[in-house]
């Protein structure tokens, strides 16, 4: 291959399912598949076909992640010199959750970096690594805050802002228990924490009556326990700010001091690290042009049989594109199904901001729910519960972090308990099909779905309304999965039930 065009002619754009056979060979232990570098880890994430995705992580990918993380931290220190004055609360998932048949571990790339960082960084950690291995989410969030709230923090960093919100709420809800544990140098036995993890964290526990009294005094004076009072030295919060999580950041800000800056940590995923934010405002970041090879398809061209495919130099300010990645991990011309927008330039390099997941997918809290998973879940649920569904939609609401299940049933009326049972069955099936959905539901970041029983004939009236807006019936494609489109069909809702 001697040119970009040769590359395009020889390698089609594909999604993960196109790469799964090669990745399966890597999982079995075969060497030099996809790339000359063998993976030392697979990053585990959800897949649209119901099976998890195993993303190869090799040394080149790991070096890129470390390099961009260092640059992000450097830019933070330039703008906020006190960022590392005290401890840092960095929240990750376990580095290793299991091993493939070929003996290669799978888990979290960020957890691997956290665990294997230099001692200079590790000594800044507010939370010992074994805490992240706690399986019960309520226990994990409590244990994280048990260690973090005892210390002076100057930095919080984790991708999802809902994690930070949940941690703040956990501390506020359990403040009496926190006083006791910090005073005694313990972690409450009321939480489901294995004896092995308790053994590993015990060296980090020391009685601290002074800090316990300080926290008690905060609640006595304010009526609550919030980061703005117990972490007054906090210099920066780093988390995602773009796409659907933007509304979560708005809900999070009142817990912190007005002057506390929030900076996006960058457009990154298990598949690739893509941007480097260098400012607090917004979520845009400099495209990491040396990390991957990028191609872009204009958003309006994505359904075309011959879409325009552009390189970095052809992007236009203000335009939105689907991004196609070629990464050192062996994903060649990989359609990650993300939509990004060009929000200016740094010299000649585009500044990109993540907008949303693309076709047939909704992502409220990192679950990346695909319409194929919804279809499978509804089919299995109505079969198991014995209630027929005429038509359905799932509408994701970022501001409430929940999905509304709009159901037109074949037979009405239906008892509330039957409708709730149907909603729970759909929820359970989604968790079975999507590991990220399951995790977000178990952790409480994604709230239980709201079941909305719709009036008889709602689907027909919806179709008629769409056709009246000059949509050809032969081209009409309804979205079974989506976000609010300006019409919540409130007049068509018979009942709303929380499962």
Average pLDDT over residues 184-206: 96
Gap between the Cα atoms of 13 and 334, Å rounded: 6
Q: Give tens-digit pLDDT for 69-112.
A: 999 999 999 999 999 999 999 999 999 999 999 999 999 888 88
Q: Which residues does residue 339 pair with via DSSP β-bridges, in sequence order?
A: 322, 356
Res. 465 pLDDT band, cuts 50 70 90: confident
The CA R_g of the chain, rounded to the nearest whole Å, is 24
129, part of any domain? yes
Considering the domain architecture, whether residues 270 and 418 belong to the same structural domain is answered as no
Res. 479 pLDDT band, cuts 50 70 90: confident
Average pLDDT over residues 458-485: 65
pLDDT of residue 464: 67
Q: Which residues does residue 14 pair with via DSSP β-bridges, in sequence order?
A: 334
Q: Which residues does residue 356 pair with via DSSP β-bridges, in sequence order?
A: 339
Considering the domain architecture, whether residues 350 and 405 belong to the same structural domain is answered as no
Q: Please provide the DSSP assignment of 111-175 as one string.
A: HHHHHTS-HHHHTTBSS-GGGGG--SHHHHHHHHHHHHTTS-EEEEE-S-HHHHHHHHHHHHHTH
Q: Give tens-digit pLDDT for 258-286.
A: 999 999 999 999 999 999 999 999 999 99
Burial 22-57 (b: 16+ CB within 10 A, else e): ebeebbeeeeebbbebbbebbbbbbbbbbebbbbbb
Considering the domain architecture, whether residues 465 and 491 belong to the same structural domain is answered as yes
Average pLDDT over residues 207-227: 97
Q: What percent of the chain has pLDDT over 90?
A: 78
The backbone torsions φ and ψ at residue 193, rounded to the nearest 5 degrees and listed phi first, read -125, 130
284, part of any domain? yes
Considering the domain architecture, whether residues 345 and 449 belong to the same structural domain is answered as no
Q: Does pLDDT of 161 surpass 70?
A: yes
pLDDT of residue 79: 98
pLDDT of residue 171: 96
Gap between the Cα atoms of 463 and 158, Å rounded: 42
Average pLDDT over residues 349-373: 90
Considering the domain architecture, whether residues 293 and 328 belong to the same structural domain is answered as yes
Considering the domain architecture, whether residues 232 and 90 belong to the same structural domain is answered as yes
pLDDT of residue 474: 33
72, part of any domain? no
Q: Does pLDDT of 215 surpass 90?
A: yes
Gap between the Cα atoms of 155 and 153, Å rounded: 6
Gap between the Cα atoms of 476 and 70, Å rounded: 48
3-class DSSP assignment, residue 211: helix
71, part of any domain? no
Q: Which two tokens stand for residue 495?
A: 């009942």
Q: Which residue has the higher pLDDT, 461 or 157?
A: 157
Considering the domain architecture, whether residues 106 and 240 belong to the same structural domain is answered as yes
Are the CB atoms for 110 and 158 separated by under 8 Å?
no
62, part of any domain? no
Domain range for 417: 361-498
Q: Please provide the DSSP assignment of 249-312 as one string.
A: HHHHGGGS-TT--EE---SB-SS-B-EE--SSSSS-EEE-TTT-EEEEEEGGGTTSSS---B-G
Average pLDDT over residues 419-429: 97
pLDDT of residue 461: 83
Q: Give tens-digit pLDDT for 67-80.
A: 999 999 999 999 99
3-class DSSP assignment, residue 321: strand
Considering the domain architecture, whether residues 353 and 365 belong to the same structural domain is answered as no
Provide the domain count of the chain. Answer: 3
Gap between the Cα atoms of 144 and 235, Å rounded: 19
153, part of any domain? yes
Considering the domain architecture, whether residues 280 and 296 belong to the same structural domain is answered as yes
Q: Give tens-digit pLDDT for 370-411.
A: 888 998 999 999 999 999 998 899 999 999 999 999 999 999
Considering the domain architecture, whether residues 428 and 389 belong to the same structural domain is answered as yes
Res. 475 pLDDT band, cuts 50 70 90: very low
Q: Give which of 76, 68, 73, 67 is closest to 279, Cα–Cα.
A: 76
Domain boundary among 224, 240, 260: 260
Average pLDDT over residues 411-439: 95
* Alpha-carbon separation of residue 224 from 165, 168, 227, 229 (angstroms): 15, 11, 10, 9
Considering the domain architecture, whether residues 228 and 335 belong to the same structural domain is answered as no
Who's near 226: CB < 8 A, 6+ residues apart? 168, 172, 255, 256
Res. 478 pLDDT band, cuts 50 70 90: low
Are the CB atoms for 270 and 159 separated by under 8 Å?
no
Q: Does pLDDT of 50 surpass 80?
A: no
The backbone torsions φ and ψ at residue 115, rounded to the nearest 5 degrees and listed phi first, read -70, -30
- Mean pLDDT is lowest, of 91-95, 97-101, 246-250, 307-311, for 246-250
Q: Does pLDDT of 197 surpass 60?
A: yes
Domain boundary among 214, 233, 260: 260
183, part of any domain? yes
* Alpha-carbon separation of residue 85 from 152, 175, 190, 439, 454 (angstroms): 9, 26, 34, 33, 55
Considering the domain architecture, whether residues 321 and 387 belong to the same structural domain is answered as no
In the chain, the largest separation of any two C-alpha atoms, in whole Å, equals 71
Are the CB atoms for 198 and 136 separated by under 8 Å?
no
Q: Give tens-digit pLDDT for 286-302.
A: 999 999 999 999 998 98
65, part of any domain? no
Q: Does pLDDT of 476 surpass 70?
A: no
The backbone torsions φ and ψ at residue 293, rounded to the nearest 5 degrees and listed phi first, read -100, 130
Domain boundary among 227, 260, 293: 260
């Amino acid at each position: 291959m001697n040119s970009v065009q040769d590359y395009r002619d020889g390698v089609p754009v594909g999604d993960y399912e196109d790469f799964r056979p090669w990745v399966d060979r890597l999982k079995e232990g075969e060497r030099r598949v996809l790339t000359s570098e063998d993976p030392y880890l697979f990053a585990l994430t959800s897949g649209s076909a119901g099976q998890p995705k195993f993303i190869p992580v090799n040394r080149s990918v790991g070096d890129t992640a470390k390099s961009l993380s260092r640059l992000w931290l450097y830019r933070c220190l330039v703008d906020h010199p006190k960022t590392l004055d005290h401890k840092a609360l960095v929240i990750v998932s376990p580095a290793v959750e299991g091993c493939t048949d070929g003996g290669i571990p799978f888990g979290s790339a960020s957890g691997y970096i956290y665990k294997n960082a230099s001692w200079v960084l590790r000594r800044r950690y507010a939370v010992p690594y074994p805490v992240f291995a706690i399986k019960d989410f309520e226990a994990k969030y409590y244990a994280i805050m048990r260690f973090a709230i005892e210390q002076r923090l100057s930095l919080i960093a984790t991708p999802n802002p809902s994690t930070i919100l949940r941690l703040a709420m956990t501390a506020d809800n359990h403040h009496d228990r926190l006083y006791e544990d910090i005073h005694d140098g313990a972690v409450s036995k009321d939480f489901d924490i294995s004896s092995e993890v308790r053994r590993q964290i015990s060296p980090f526990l020391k009685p601290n009556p002074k800090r316990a009294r300080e926290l008690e005094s905060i609640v006595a004076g304010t009526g609550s326990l919030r980061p703005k009072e117990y972490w007054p030295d906090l210099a920066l919060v780093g988390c995602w700010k773009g796409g659907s999580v933007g509304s979560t950041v708005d809900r999070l800000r009142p817990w912190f001091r007005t002057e506390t800056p929030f900076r996006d940590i960058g457009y990154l995923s298990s598949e690739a690290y893509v941007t480097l934010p260098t400012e607090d405002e917004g979520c845009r970041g400099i495209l990491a042009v040396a990390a991957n090879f990028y191609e872009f398809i204009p958003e309006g061209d994505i359904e075309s049989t011959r879409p325009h495919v552009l390189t970095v130099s052809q992007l236009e300010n203000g335009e939105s594109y689907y991004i196609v990645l070629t990464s050192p991990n062996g994903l060649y011309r990989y359609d990650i199904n993300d939509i990004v927008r060009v929000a200016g330039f740094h010299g000649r390099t585009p500044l990109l901001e993540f907008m949303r997941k693309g076709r047939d997918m909704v992502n409220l809290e990192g679950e990346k729910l695909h319409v194929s998973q919804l279809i499978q879940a509804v089919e299995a649920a109505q079969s198991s519960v014995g209630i027929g569904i005429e038509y359905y939609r799932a509408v994701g609401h970022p501001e409430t972090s929940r999905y509304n299940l709009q159901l037109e049933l074949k037979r009405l009326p239906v008892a509330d308990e039957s409708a709730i049972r149907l909603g729970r069955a759909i929820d359970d099936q989604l968790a079975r099909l999507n590991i990220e959905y399951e995790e977000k539901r178990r952790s409480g970041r994604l709230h239980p779905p709201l079941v909305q029983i719709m009036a008889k004939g709602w689907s027909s009236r919806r179709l008629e309304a769409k056709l009246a807006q000059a949509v050809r019936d032969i081209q009409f494609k309804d979205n079974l999965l989506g976000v609010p489109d300006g019409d919540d069909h409130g007049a068509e809702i018979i009942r709303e039930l929380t499962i």
